[in-house]
A and B are shown apart, each in its own frame.
Chain A
Amino acid sequence: MKAYLGIDVGSVSTNLVVMDEEEQVLDSIYIRTLGQPVKAVQEGLKIMGQKWGDKTAINGVGVTGSARNLTAVLVGADAVKNEITAHAVAVSQVVPSAQTIIEIGGQDSKIIVMRDGIVTDFAMNTVCAAGTGSFLDQQAMRLNIPIEEFGELALKAHNPVRIAGRCAVFAESDMIHKQQLGHSLEDIIAGLCEALVRNYLNNVGKGKDIMPPLVFQGGVAANIGIKTAFEKALGHELIIPKYYDVMGALGCCYLGKKATAHSTTKFKGWQAANFNFRPTSFECKGCPNLCEVIEIYENDVLIARWGDRCGKWSNKSIKVG
């Protein structure tokens, strides 16, 4: 059976989706990146390969996420795209009528405005991570609550407290202060959800045409507390797609399919899971730019280099042993 693979390697999670020729999702997995993208991708490939290696033949691979360039080299990708396009592609297939996409991931939050399936406007947080998944994760850890139960707890609140949401660090001190005053855990968590939503709408969503149907996706969409806070603030119901947490990877399946319409795939095969990938880096002293150059070795063969501005290193024949 022909199939397509999409990989999204983000700051917090690494997602893989396998889609068949009829554009049905066969399987999806969500693994924590834990700061080791290479390991996470290989683990994902291993799991998927064991399940689907014999039954499917991968005809196209798309990658996205902040580690997309690295991943593209590891697995041999046909399409390398930014997250915004990948997410928009997935939504235009899954919820064709969507006009606004709210996506909150590990370290970025974005809003994508679509009209007739085409992105007409978007925004992404630039210099601040307040109100992203990582922050929620950290706070859940601090309060010793499993992140999965975080949202449920927020729903039990009676009087959500007001928390400064502009800066993650000050939000944390605000939370600690409220907690020391004796507010209940539920109220604090609900307050945090509201602060996060407020920050998102005032920061990323500022000046954007937020029109229904609204789609909410990304890892944070699993958090019912945030969803409720959004609905309260916007006055519209949010649609959470079935594969909300792997939409980037799903979009990559479509992109991979499109990219291989007239060519064969560059996919290295599931066995890439067992290759020994070794990234190293050095600082080029050739000029005052002091570029940090990354080298990727596959089984002790140098397969790629990047990070230099001038092209001195990345242009070098990558076949040198």
Chain B
Amino acid sequence: MLLSFPHMGNIHFPLTRVCQVLDIPYLLPSPPGPKALALGQELAPEGSCLPFLLVLGNMREALDQGADTILMLGGSGPCRFGYFVYLADKLLKDAGYEFQMLIVDKGHHLENYTFLKKEREIKLSQIISAVQYGWELLNCQDMVERMEREYFPAVCEPLKFKEELAYYRKRIEEACSRTDLKSLRKEMVENLENTPRRPVESVLRIGLVGDIYTMLEPQANQHIEEYLLSKGICIYKDMAVTKWIPNVFLPWRKSKYKRHLLKESYPYLCNSVGGFGLESVASTCKLGKNEVDGIIQLFPLGCMPEIVARSALNKICKEERLPVMSITMDQHQSMTGFQTRLEAFLDLVQNKKEAPSAS
């Protein structure tokens, strides 16, 4: 058995660690990029969204290199009417690849467990403790990134802060038990939260909303976070794997989670529209209330849920007087057009902040 999994942001790191703990041989495809795109495009139906192409490309590259089992987190949710992962599975098998698809989603846990038990003789208790370790790792990673996004542009000593971030990143990589990670996370949060920062009002703050893949994978969002941070802008982003995973593993949390989202998105969107549409609207409402000066919505071309969310976002933009810009991402290789829009939006937000009466 040789396991592989497609990329999405930094999710590969905890996954590889879990594999190491469980002693499962794994293969990591190269990060999504032109290569994955080309491989995915050859098989995917016309009009497939960018995340699908990249995920499919990643899977194919891994299979070409000899992987025989593919692990996919989610993918049978509401996106692509629940057929995201099944479509990928079918396309690859039609193309002649032979492999086993492990879907980590509700209804598949028993099946996955039986497979792992048969192939690698792994006990349930081992899986549980490995997953808990991976989960904590993911939490730590999310926390470092969140702190960088939200604090870095405002800190008084950026170089020192960068050093500290790097230091904690390294320690997270080295930590090898769940308890270590827990105490490390606590220490990190306490330490970094007390970094001297300029008042939040003096920095431009932008909220990012959109579908999960575009939010988490820099290759799919033209490295927007890097760009915004380099311009000294704080980024607020609710989308995180850690917020989404519990609802995959623990079905009883789902209705509570949804009720919470519906409450936040009221009165702009009152039902789930598939994908991450509801999340985008809820997050916009929440961020808009007191935290950010503007919202940027990013989504792949043809993403229906986000198109629905966009209409709600337009309404929020008008009624709450919150600048919102929606950008459709596709296979553009050039940054110019994207940067033009970003720059113009940032100019707009900056001007509005300086002269609030004008709008």
Contact = CB atoms under 8 A, between A and B. Distances in A.
**Chain B interface bracket (under 10, 10 to 19, 20 to 34, 35 or more):** 20 to 34
B34 A290 contact: yes
A85 B343 contact: yes
B214 to A, nearest CB: 14
Contacts of B347: 82, 84-85, 119
A118 B355 CA distance: 9
A120 B333 CA distance: 29
B358 A118 contact: yes
Interface stretch (A43-51, A121-129, A238-246): A121-129
B344 A122 contact: yes
Given A66-B336, A115-B359, A82 B344 contact: yes
B33 interface: yes
B183 interface: no
User: Which of A108, A117, A122 has the most C-beta atoms of chain B within 10 angstroms of its own C-beta?
Assistant: A122
A292 B333 contact: yes
Nearest to B333: A292
B330 interface: yes
A187 interface: no
A116 B36 CA distance: 48
A15 to B, nearest CB: 17
A289 B359 CA distance: 41
A96 to B, nearest CB: 13
Interface string A103-144: 000001000000111111110101100000000000000000
Interface string B22-58: 0000000011011100000000000000000000000
A127 B301 contact: yes
A120 B358 contact: yes
B59 to A, nearest CB: 16
A66 B33 contact: no
Given A81-B343, A120-B359, A288 B328 contact: no
A69 B317 CA distance: 32
A54 B84 CA distance: 66
B208 to A, nearest CB: 17
B30 A119 contact: no
A207 interface: yes
Contacts of A127: 301, 328, 330
B348 interface: yes
A309 interface: yes
B339 A122 contact: no
A82 B323 contact: no
A244 to B, nearest CB: 20
A83 B351 contact: no
Contacts of A85: 343-344, 347
A309 B344 contact: no
Contacts of B34: 290
Tell me whether chain B's interface is mostly helix, strand or loop, or mixed. helix
B301 A124 contact: no
Contacts of B256: none
B352 interface: yes
B87 interface: no
A4 to B, nearest CB: 20
B341 interface: yes
Contacts of A119: 344, 347-348, 351
Nearest to A114: B358
B333 A115 contact: no
B358 A82 contact: no
A120 B348 contact: yes
Nearest to A64: B340
Interface string B325-359: 00110100100110111011101100110010011
Contacts of A121: 317, 323, 348
A116 B354 CA distance: 14
Contact of B351 (A69, A118, A207, A309): A118
Interface in A220-251: none
A147 B126 CA distance: 73
Given A66-B336, A309-B223, A122 B358 contact: no
A312 to B, nearest CB: 14
A137 B314 CA distance: 33
B223 A82 contact: no
Contacts of B359: 115, 118, 120
Nearest to A123: B325
Given A82-B343, A118-B351, A127-B301, A288 B330 contact: no
Contacts of A207: 311, 314, 318
A66 B358 contact: no
Contacts of A83: 340, 344
Residue in A69, A126, A207 with the greatest tally of chain B CB atoms within 10 Å? A126
Nearest to B315: A207
A200 to B, nearest CB: 17
Contact of A116 (B30, B341, B358): B358
Contacts of B330: 127
Contacts of A122: 344-345, 348
A290 B34 CA distance: 7
The 3 A-B pairs of least Cβ separation, nearest first, read A84-B344, A82-B343, A288-B30
Given A82-B344, A119-B348, A119-B351, 15 more contacts: A84-B341, A84-B344, A85-B347, A115-B358, A116-B358, A117-B358, A118-B351, A120-B348, A120-B358, A121-B323, A126-B328, A288-B31, A288-B33, A290-B33, A309-B223
23 contacts: A66-B336, A82-B343, A84-B343, A84-B344, A85-B344, A108-B337, A116-B358, A117-B358, A118-B352, A118-B358, A118-B359, A119-B351, A120-B348, A122-B344, A122-B348, A126-B341, A207-B311, A288-B30, A288-B33, A289-B31, A290-B33, A290-B35, A309-B226
